[in-house]
Structure 1
Amino acid sequence: MNSPTPRAVGLSPKLYRRAFEVLAEEIVSGAVSAGTHLAETAIAQRFGISRAPARQALSELEREGFVRKSQTRGYEVLPLSGRPPEPDHQPPSISALAADRIQFQPSWELIYGEIEIELVSRTSLASWRINEAALAKAYHVSRTVARDVVARLQQRGIVRKDDSGRWYAPALTEKHIGELYELRWALEPLALEKAFPRLPPDLLGRLLQNVEASMVSGAEIDAGRLDALEQELHVELLGHCDHQALMQAISLPQALLVAHHFLYQGTSELFETEPFLPEHLDVLQRLSSGDVTSAKTALVRHLQVSRERAMLRIRAVASTMSPRDLPYLERLDPIRPD
């Protein structure tokens, strides 16, 4: 494997830049007035980042002429050009402005997508333990933000806790894949039946049109489009099922859809044309004719065949992967035959 290179090198600028842009906008709009004191600790707490990107944001604000170093500690907001300081005005603290904040994307969302794909891609090789503290350090975020990322990974069915209460992502072994698909073909047809009466009038027509257009594209269809088609049938359509307990149960095996998002990118040459397209078309056409029973049967057939294709994709990716080390992931065991 390659030597460890923290991914934060690419993501830290996003975190500091977001803090810089929000604060600059607040200063320009007057939400943060001249004379307001800004400190690293308060900025870090507000944006859920560590002090390093908070310091970087303040340095950028100073370079752009928004703030200057205070005579004590931290920074002081400067009057904008042409705007005189407000006389006899007590500047508000950063915490006092909480109710007037400009909306921004939570820190965990900024880094989640990259962490998800780094983790899921490696489960074709082994199981992996995830370390929250190391994750926070690698991405220059707080432990709270790291915890939010792991919570989302759990919600998506990607990680679980072992007997010692530690987080890990299970390897995509044949046994694990088989169990997840068996759950899917037991649960998704029931959700399909319950969703059908609640479908918006134009949904089936739109989904059919998307599949038909993709079939015409043939080998030219890209991984992102395949992933979108999977989401349309298995997430968007089934999402109209109003059985909350059933949908919660479905969320665990549908973690496979996250894996597919990665696998489609790495196995584009495995099949001449994507074989799930006519299977999706069959399900949607049966639904459009009002034959829910045969649509459920077609969905089961699609999921049963998909299990074998998933394993082919995983083996193909595993044979070529050599991922770099990441400080927040520990390899637990290689995939062994079940």
Structure 2
Amino acid sequence: MDGTRQAMAATGGEAAADSGPLYLRIRDALAGAIAAGRLPKGALLLEGPVATVFSSTRTPVRQAFALLEAAGAIRRFEGRGFLVGQGRGGPRRVALTPDMLGLGEEAQGLRKAPAWEAIYEALEREMVHLSVFGRHRINEVELARARGVGRQVARDALTRLEALGIVEKDERMRWTLVPLDETRMRDLHDIRLALEPLALAQAAPRIPADVLEETIRRHEAALAGYPDLSVEAMDGLETDLHIVLPGYGPNRELSIALRRARFMLNVSKHVIGVSHRMPAREPFIAEHLTVLRALAAGDVADAAEALREHIAVSLSKVIRRVGELRESHRPETPAYASPAGRGGA
């Protein structure tokens, strides 16, 4: 999952809409079309055309495909994309339409992507890089002008950043970028170390077996393919273990308490492969698999302890990467930001 996906997750479910995560709504629409026969057996499904129908990015479509594949509703084949159903038939090229997927006028909210998504990922990266160099004030009007969007779109994007603890409002209700210094990194790390293993242990009985199996499969494929992985793929693996699986837990207050601490996940994403090269040795996939395999074996206590150990060793890596970023990658201050002069790194 990309930064947009994390922002959605941080605002209480992975999408802001009350009807649930977008990838689950896409999955349900596709599953319903398959069950009703509107999508025939052997029909070819590609990320791009499906994303176009839903006016979404490809990330939630990719997640929906993974769940449908795990459920046996679609399958891989030698070509690109997925085929509906099992067996040897296909591919059948079918022109997707909203009506085919059961998306009438009443479902416009499902297909319409929030406008802030278009600017969010690049903005998050810019903010994370800038936060290394201290507290800054963020001018909402200038941000909207710089991104060529309306003020409400800029405000919505900042609200998502606020949910992750990247920005906050000061005593005069002005947007400020929170500095990323070592003290803050250690404080956030302590919260994750204490609460995230507990969240995973509570979630473990509720995690669907097919979801866990698909998560393990993705990690195994990533481990075999490393380092030939995109930053987005690496971020998706982090989101799988640290956000999606604990999110099955019953304790909503625990999830809320973890939101800001999970900002630490965004730091490495915006450094590795962007400001710094991908590490020669994979940084975390094998550790994730230890946790996932313990969950699959029903060893919840072992899974929670393995997660705690994984989080414990991650702090020094992040501190080192941020230090290297501060020394080698001073970004140009954007027109919408200005040093605030207090609480700097």
Give TM-score scaled by structure 2 length. Answer: 0.64
- CA deviation profile, 1:285-309 (whole Å, cap 9, x unmatched): 2111111112111111111110111
For 2:301, give the aligned amino acid: T
Q: In structure 2, how many angstroms separate the alpha carbons of the residues matched to 1:164 and 1:220?
A: 47
Asked if residue 114 in structure 1 is aligned to residue 122 in structure 2, the reply is yes
Q: Which residue of 2 aligns with 1:217?
A: 225
Contact in 2 for aligned 1:126/1:331 (Cα 8 Å): yes
The answer to whether structure 1 residue 188 and structure 2 residue 196 are counterparts is yes
Secondary structure of the 2:245 match is helix
CA deviations on 1:181-238 (whole Å, 9 max, x unpaired) are 1101111111101111111111222222222222222333332221111011111111
Q: Which residue of 2 aligns with 1:150?
A: 158
Q: Residues 99 and 121 from structure 1, CA distance in 2 versus in 1: closer, same or farther, beyond 3 angstroms?
A: same
Residue identity opposite 2:313 in structure 1: V
The aligned residue for residue 272 of structure 2 is 264
Cα deviations across residues 98-130 of structure 1 (Å, max 9, x unaligned)?
999896433322222222221112122222221
Report Cα offsets for 1:227-284 as digits up to 9, x if no partner.
Answer: 1110111111111112111111111111222222212223654732123122111111
- Are residue 299 (structure 1) and residue 343 (structure 2) matched? no
Matching of residue 197 in structure 1 with residue 197 in structure 2: no
Alignment pair present for 1:249 and 2:257: yes
In 1, Cα distance between equivalents of 2:281 and 2:339: 34
Determine the structure 1 residue equivalent to 2:214: 206
Q: Please name the residue that 1:74 is paired with.
A: none
User: Is 2:133–2:344's contact at 8 Å kept on the other side of the alignment?
Assistant: no
Q: Which amino acid is the alignment partner of residue 151 of structure 1?
A: T
What secondary structure does 1:273 align onto?
coil
Letter in 2 for 1:110: A
Structure-2 separation of matches of 1:253 and 1:122: 19
Aligned mates of 2:107, 2:185 — CA distance in 1: 48
Hey, what's the Cα distance between the residues in 2 that align with 1:100 and 1:219?
41
Secondary structure (helix, strand or coil) at the match of 2:161 reads helix
Q: Is the 8 A contact 1:159 1:170 kept in 2?
A: yes
1:189 maps to a residue whose letter is P
Counterpart Cα distance in 2 of 1:167 and 1:125: 17
Give the counterpart letter for 1:177 in structure 2: M
Q: Distance in 2 between matches of 1:211 and 1:137?
A: 41
**Is the contact made by 1:223 and 1:268 (CA closer than 8 Å) also made in structure 2?**
no
1:333 offset after TM fit, Å? 5.2
From the superposition, tell whether residues 166 and 214 of structure 1 become closer, same or farther in structure 2 (CA, over 3 Å).
Answer: same
Aligned-residue offset at 1:325: 2.9
Pick one of 142, 155, 161 that aligns with 1:134: 142
Q: Give the Cα–Cα distance (whole angstroms) in 2 for the partners of residues 212 and 144 of structure 1.
A: 42
Q: Is the 8 A contact 2:130 2:333 kept in 1?
A: no
Amino acid in structure 1 at the alignment position of 2:127: L
Deviations 1:135-160 (A, max 9, x none): 12223333322222221111222111
Q: Contact 1:267–1:316 at 8 Å: present in 2 too?
A: no
CA distance in 2 between partners of 1:165 and 1:132 (Å): 12
What CA distance in whole angstroms lies between the structure 1 residues aligned with 2:186 and 2:134? 16
CA shift in 2, pair 1:267/1:276, >3 Å:
farther
Q: In 2 relative to 1, CA 269–331 (structure 1 residues): closer, same or farther, beyond 3 Å?
A: same
Taking structure 1 as the reference length, the TM-score comes to 0.65
Say whether the 8 Å CA contact 1:185–1:300 is kept in structure 2.
Answer: yes
When residues 167 and 285 of structure 1 are mapped into structure 2, their CA distance, relative to the original with a 3 A threshold, is same
Distance 2:344 2:155 in 1: 30
Structure 1 334/312 Cα, relative in aligned 2: closer, same or farther at 3 Å? farther
SS in structure 1 at match of 2:287: helix
Give 1:11's aligned residue: none
Larger radius of gyration: 1
Q: Residue 183 of structure 2 aligns with which residue?
A: 175
Partner of 2:248: 240
- Unaligned ranges ≥5, structure 2: 1-104
Q: d(CA) in 2 for partners of 1:276 and 1:160?
A: 30
Deviations 1:25-48 (A, max 9, x none): xxxxxxxxxxxxxxxxxxxxxxxx
Which of the residues 302, 308, 318 maps onto 1:310? 318
Query: Using the alignment, how far apart are the partners of 1:319 and 1:115 within structure 2?
Result: 22
Any conservation in 2 of the 1:270–1:313 contact (CA below 8 Å)? Answer: no
Q: 1:275 to 1:136 in 2, by over 3 A?
A: closer
The question of whether the paired residues in 2 share the 8 Å contact of 1:266 and 1:317 is answered with no
Unaligned regions of 5+ residues in structure 1, if any?
1-97
